[in-house]
Structure 1
Amino acid sequence: MASLPFARFEFLIAWRYLRARRSEGGVSVMTWISLIGIALGVMALVATLAVRAGFRAEFVDTIVGSNAHVSVSRATWVGEDGVASRAIPDAPAIAERIRQIPGVTRAAPVIRGQAMVTANDRSSVAEVYGITLSDLKAIPRIANSEQAFGDIDRFDQGMAIGIGIARDLGLKLGDRVKLIQPNGARTAFGVSPRVNAYEVVYIFSAGRWDIDRTRIYLPYAEAESFFNRERGADEIEIFVEDPERIEDYTAAIYAAAGQGALLWTWKDASSAFLNALSIEDDVMFVILSLIVLIAALNITSGLVMLVKNKGRDIGILRTMGLTEGSILRIFFLCGAFVGVIGTLAGVVLGCLLALNIDPIMSAINYWTGGGAWDPAVRGIYRLPAELRAWDVGRAVILSLGLSFVVTIFPARRAARMNPVEALRYE
């Protein structure tokens, strides 16, 4: 009896075989083990890929949202007075030329320096940025901080400080903080340390533990005086529309910055960490793929037992006219059903786990006393997840592909069974 591939009766017979009777409980148990194993493997794969994607997206967003996408500095040069310097004396003009480049959203001269911060009998070391109010308000993770206190419009009257420094020094809005710079005021007797006090008018969180514990913003003119930067700005911070394609802008920025310019992109600063993340993503995918493979191999065990138990049925079906192809497709469908149902269940469970990973990790962190997620180690404050169609598709293709492949051997064994031998002792 010739039939088209995957005829309706083949689906019906395959589905009936999967619902084993009580006397065939071993087959039923193996079916459930295979299904649950595939579901758990796919769930783990989907959730892990979502968490890895979310972690990278959050980490990159904290970088490009609080740091310059490109920093332009200058090679060391010697002035007419014979003093070597790396200052950019024509920084405003260079910044204006860079702003004209298509895709550049902001270019601003910046003063950078380190200083000791003291308050309430405590001290810390901070990275101090001198910047104008308008440029500070253009930095997304600073101006639009999820944890911000104070009035950023009062920036010219004091300083903006990271929430980590504020916590370490016990600061609140309105407190005055001393900044100490060893290379301070120049006097007839040499250079003496400069000590200035500033009011805390704005406290921000950039979403990065290391930034919040080390960064302070001062008004540009105040920073210029505090760090003796009369020769010019230390660098020019540049923000672009598409930070992921920063390489497309570097040639034009070089041309606008002129001879002696040095460029440092956000990818240059974080390349080692981003490369490590990419390698870890590939390794995690391979490891979790092995888990799915092990679960899929249980389908083979279950089908081998099913073929053995259904030897009499196979002989009867063959004598009724079913071809080897029909028998092969019937048992292939038995394994495919398990793979498809397990995969669908795993995708649903994995998506639910990924969508709720943040509260789940918060609960685990609470019960472990904060040891499950340490921002000092991870860099960011929470564990995000980002479901991407490509990642879910990869998990589905992998699971279904393995499930279909491992069913071929037992299905071919059933198809090649001799009906005479199958019915000899019946």
Structure 2
Amino acid sequence: MRFEFGLARKYLVPRRGQLSVSLICLLSIFVITLVVWLLVTFLSVMGGIEKNWLHKLTSLNAPLKINPTHRYFNSYYYQVDAISSASNYSLKTIGEKKVAPLTNPYNEEIDTTVPMEWERTDHDLVKDLFTAINEIDEPGLIAQEYDISGALLRLKLVRGDYHSFLSQVAYVASYADQSPQVQALLEEKTDLSIDESGATGVLLPRAFKDQGVTIGDRGFLGYGGSGAASGQEMRLDIRVAGFYDPGVMSIGPKCVLAPAHIAGILRTSGDAYTLDPCQSTGVQVWFSNLDHTRDVEAKLQAKLSERGLSDYWSVTSYYNYDFAKDLLQQFKSDKLLFTLIGMIILIVAASNIISSLVLLVNNKKKEIGILQSMGASKKSIALIFAICGLMIGVISTCVGAAAAVLTLHNIDHVVHFLSWVQGHDAFNALFYGNSLPSTLSTSSIKFIAIATPAISLIAALIPALKACRMQPAQILRSE
């Protein structure tokens, strides 16, 4: 092998007598290097964008959501609180059910008659759910209940002697304080406690900051009362405690993050701006490795089936979220499409390898004849030119990968240049973030490190076969 490798290296070094062959080899290396550079850079940037986007998505929404089904809401377990004095005749959120001392608060001596159509169950549907979650062995597993509803957001903006108001209908979701990554989405540390004036701190999307809202602004969340207060507007005093990055969530620019008790009050209010009840409450589940999502989902569904809870709870993973599914599929489609285009260009570029090595074979006919006359086998002759093709692929891969690393290291300068050429921001900060990812994708490097030398080696087989089929007698006679 050392003999064949030495000759292959000798043949690829530019020499005066084989200038045309050397130029074609250099052209092949240049084209393949260019394709490798573009592929590695694009796949690394797209992979980083997808990773950052998933980080934001799962920080707020968790990799897994467990939502109650309509059967849960129609059950005796859920509805009995509305007719029970021990529950203050009000429906309970999942969080309240989780800490409730009584599974069945109904007292037949003082409470009204239970409707016959309410389905009874022997399970404590919420506590059994959390027990099932805690039985799953997964590093970093955390579960937290959530609520989401709607309300009228009205803020008073005081700027010196000038007063103005900002009003809009907004979603109000419970702040996931147990999420391991949520702090990364906040612009600064926040305090959501109730202050001396009775106003509760809330977090607003970053878009509100761009509209002139500042930390400390005060206002209220308005919603319709229930029961004796039905038809009246109820208010919850709030203050702006901070801002967060909502990512590309469909409701993100209009979603206020509030303490759990605020979101719970709004959701259980009969006249609040309600959503689909099965989607407006549930349990969020976080864990350390997103790659284990399908495995954790399967384990959780199995646990729910074992406990007879699968009819009351549905499990949804982040890649099936309605607002994220299409975008995730588009990420995969874009990467696959660009990879296929890159592979096609690589194959076309490999045709230059065929041309250059065919010229090299014709240029080295005399040496091939001498080698065969001295006892070199046809296999050795073929191996020499196959190694030439492989070396072209390896050199192109190394140079292209190095160029990609250099580009990623200076990605901000590249973006500034593209923005200058176009006359506006080349990449929307809302989708791509303040800067493009600059981390090299190991998966793209592995793919290129295998595909490029393999294609180059396959392309080199044609001239290699031509070289090994030459007859030494005919070659030396013609020379």
Q: 2:204 aligns with which of 139, 159, 162?
A: 162
Counterpart check, 1:98 vs 2:129: yes
Query: What's the counterpart of residue 214 of structure 2?
Result: 172
Q: 2:172 aligns with which of 123, 128, 133?
A: 128
Report the alpha carbon displacement of residue 174 of structure 1 after superposing the two structures with TM. 0.8
Report the alpha carbon displacement of residue 144 of structure 1 after superposing the two structures with TM. 3.7
Identity of aligned residues (%): 24
Counterpart check, 1:249 vs 2:289: no
Q: Secondary structure at the match of 2:7?
A: helix
Q: Secondary structure at the match of 2:462?
A: helix
Query: What's the counterpart of residue 3 of structure 1?
Result: none
Q: Secondary structure at the match of 1:137?
A: coil
Query: What's the counterpart of residue 139 of structure 1?
Result: 179
Q: 1:408 aligns with which of 452, 461, 466?
A: 461
**Residues 337 and 355 of structure 1: CA distance in aligned 2, closer, same or farther (over 3 Å):** same
**Residues 168 and 251 of structure 1: CA distance in aligned 2, closer, same or farther (over 3 Å):** farther
Contact map agreement 2:203 2:243 (CA 8 A) in 1: yes
Query: What's the counterpart of residue 104 of structure 2?
Result: none
Report the alpha carbon displacement of residue 405 of structure 1 after superposing the two structures with TM. 0.8
Contact map agreement 2:146 2:284 (CA 8 A) in 1: no
Query: What's the counterpart of residue 29 of structure 2?
Result: 35
Report the alpha carbon displacement of residue 32 of structure 1 after superposing the two structures with TM. 0.6
| Alignment TM-score, normalising by the size of structure 1 | 0.81
**Residues 277 and 92 of structure 1: CA distance in aligned 2, closer, same or farther (over 3 Å):** same
- How far apart, in 2, do the equivalents of 1:161 and 1:253 lie? 34
Report the alpha carbon displacement of residue 160 of structure 1 after superposing the two structures with TM. 2.1
| Alignment TM-score, normalising by the size of structure 2 | 0.73
Counterpart check, 1:396 vs 2:453: no
**Residues 250 and 112 of structure 1: CA distance in aligned 2, closer, same or farther (over 3 Å):** farther
Number of residues paired by the alignment? 411
Q: Secondary structure at the match of 1:407?
A: helix
**Residues 320 and 48 of structure 1: CA distance in aligned 2, closer, same or farther (over 3 Å):** same
- How far apart, in 1, do the equivalents of 2:194 and 2:417 lie? 38
Counterpart check, 1:314 vs 2:368: yes
Q: 1:203 aligns with which of 243, 254, 257?
A: 243
Q: Which moved more, 1:95-104 or 1:150-159?
A: 150-159
Query: What's the counterpart of residue 387 of structure 2?
Result: 333
Structure-to-structure mapping, 1:8-87, within 5 angstroms: 8-68=2-62, 69-75=64-70, 76-77=73-74
Report the alpha carbon displacement of residue 406 of structure 1 after superposing the two structures with TM. 0.8
Query: What's the counterpart of residue 475 of structure 2?
Result: 422
**Residues 122 and 17 of structure 1: CA distance in aligned 2, closer, same or farther (over 3 Å):** same
Mind listing any 5+ residue stretches in structure 1 that lack a counterpart? 1-5
Q: 2:318 aligns with which of 253, 258, 266?
A: 266
- Aligned residue type for 2:245: S
Report the alpha carbon displacement of residue 400 of structure 1 after superposing the two structures with TM. 0.9
**Residues 230 and 191 of structure 1: CA distance in aligned 2, closer, same or farther (over 3 Å):** closer
Structure-to-structure mapping, 1:348-363, within 5 angstroms: 348-354=402-408, 356-357=410-411, 360-361=414-415
**Residues 250 and 288 of structure 1: CA distance in aligned 2, closer, same or farther (over 3 Å):** same
Q: Which moved more, 1:337-346 or 1:350-359?
A: 350-359
- How far apart, in 1, do the equivalents of 2:302 and 2:3 lie? 66
Structure-to-structure mapping, 1:174-323, within 5 angstroms: 174-181=216-223, 183-184=224-225, 191-194=231-234, 196-208=236-248, 212-226=252-266, 229=269, 234-241=280-287, 244-245=293-294, 246-247=296-297, 248-253=299-304, 255=307, 260-269=312-321, 270-323=324-377
Contact map agreement 1:186 1:192 (CA 8 A) in 2: no
- How far apart, in 1, do the equivalents of 2:152 and 2:402 lie? 52
**Once the two structures are superposed, what CA deviation does each residue of 1:201-260 show, in whole Å capped at 9, x if it has no partner?**
222224447565222123344444456537999523322325523412234357486754
Q: Which moved more, 1:272-281 or 1:390-399?
A: 272-281
Mind listing any 5+ residue stretches in structure 2 that lack a counterpart? 84-89, 100-124, 157-163
Larger RCO: Structure 1 or Structure 2 (Cα < 8 Å, ≥ 6 residues apart)? Answer: 1
- How far apart, in 2, do the equivalents of 1:267 and 1:96 lie? 27
Report the alpha carbon displacement of residue 98 of structure 1 after superposing the two structures with TM. 3.2
C-alpha RMSD of the superposition: 3.6
- How far apart, in 1, do the equivalents of 2:468 and 2:148 lie? 78
Contact map agreement 1:95 1:107 (CA 8 A) in 2: no
Contact map agreement 2:222 2:234 (CA 8 A) in 1: yes
- How far apart, in 1, do the equivalents of 2:466 and 2:207 lie? 70
